[in-house]
């Protein structure tokens, strides 16, 4: 294995241990890993942003596409917010960015999370399928209609009496959906942890001297968790 790959594995393993040490107590190793991550992320974002400006803005402009001059002008105007008198000019490009972003987001959101959901639910079949598929589709349709009824018909007469059964079905359906969403979130987090543990065990610890370094790293991290005034060494200054 190349030296660069070995160094990357060692750094990834050390930073993994230091980051997860916050689960027990705050310590200098975690702070160092956190600050390193934030600094690396900020540097990467800066380089990536400059590269995008050069590649997708400056290069077409120098190639003769003068339409990009408008984009550069709006970008420069945004820095007017630092001017005490003409800071209001920076609101123009900001308003354009927010307006275009909201328009594009609403279009994709309505299409994917509203219209597509209605089409998918309306196209479900109950007849002509096997028993389990038909039962699943029927339960899905009932819960969907009950939930829509629950939120549209909110006046008391529509939620009481015999119609209260619809609201009960809607509440049970929503609680099942929320429970599934929460469980899926927890499972995804556990998968991330298991992935890092698998990396430590099968990628880092198989390297030379890694098994010897592991207890040393853990001892240093545990020692760093001890409050400064309670550490036997170094002695705190009076």
Task: Check residue 206 and give its pLDDT.
Answer: 94
- Determine the structural domain holding residue 98 and report its residue range: 77-123
pLDDT of residue 236: 61
Query: Is the domain of 94 the same as that of 148?
Result: no
* Structural domain includes residue 200: no
**pLDDT, position 178:** 95
Q: Are residues 171 and 187 in the same domain?
A: yes
Contact status, residue 78 vs residue 91, Cβ threshold 8 Å: no
161 and 115 housed in the same domain: no
Residues 106, 160 within the same domain: no
pLDDT at 127: 81
Q: What is the DSSP string of 11-22?
A: HHHHHHHHHHGG
The pTM of the full predicted model, rounded to 2 decimals, is: 0.72
pLDDT at 235: 66
pLDDT profile of the chain (238 residues), mean per 10: 91 95 92 95 95 90 89 89 91 93 87 83 82 89 92 84 90 95 93 93 94 94 86 69
Q: What's the structural domain count of the chain?
A: 3
Say if 202 falls within a structural domain.
no
């Amino acid at each position: 294995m190349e030296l660069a790959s070995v160094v990357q594995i060692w750094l990834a393993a050390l930073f993994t241990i230091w980051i997860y040490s916050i689960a027990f107590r705050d310590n200098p190793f975690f702070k160092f890993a956190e600050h390193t991550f934030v600094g690396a992320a900020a540097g990467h974002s800066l380089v990536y942003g400059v590269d995008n400006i050069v590649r997708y803005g400056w290069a077409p402009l120098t190639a003769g596409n003068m339409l990009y001059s408008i984009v550069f002008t709006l970008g420069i105007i945004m820095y007017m917010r630092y001017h005490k008198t003409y800071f209001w000019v920076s609101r123009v490009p900001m308003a354009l960015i927010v307006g275009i972003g909201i328009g594009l987001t609403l279009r994709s959101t309505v299409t994917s999370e509203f219209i597509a959901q209605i089409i998918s639910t309306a196209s479900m079949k109950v007849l002509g399928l096997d028993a389990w598929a038909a039962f699943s589709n029927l339960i899905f349709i009932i819960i969907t209609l009950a939930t829509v009824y629950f939120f549209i018909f909110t006046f008391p007469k529509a939620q009481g009496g015999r119609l209260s059964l619809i609201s009960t079905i809607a509440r049970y359906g929503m609680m099942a959906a929320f429970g599934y969403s929460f469980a899926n979130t927890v499972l995804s987090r556990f998968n991330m942890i298991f992935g890092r543990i698998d990396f430590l065990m099968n990628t880092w610890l198989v390297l030379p001297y890694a098994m010897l370094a592991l207890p040393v790293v853990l001892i240093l991290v545990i020692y760093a968790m001890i409050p400064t005034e309670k550490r036997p060494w170094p002695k705190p200054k009076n």
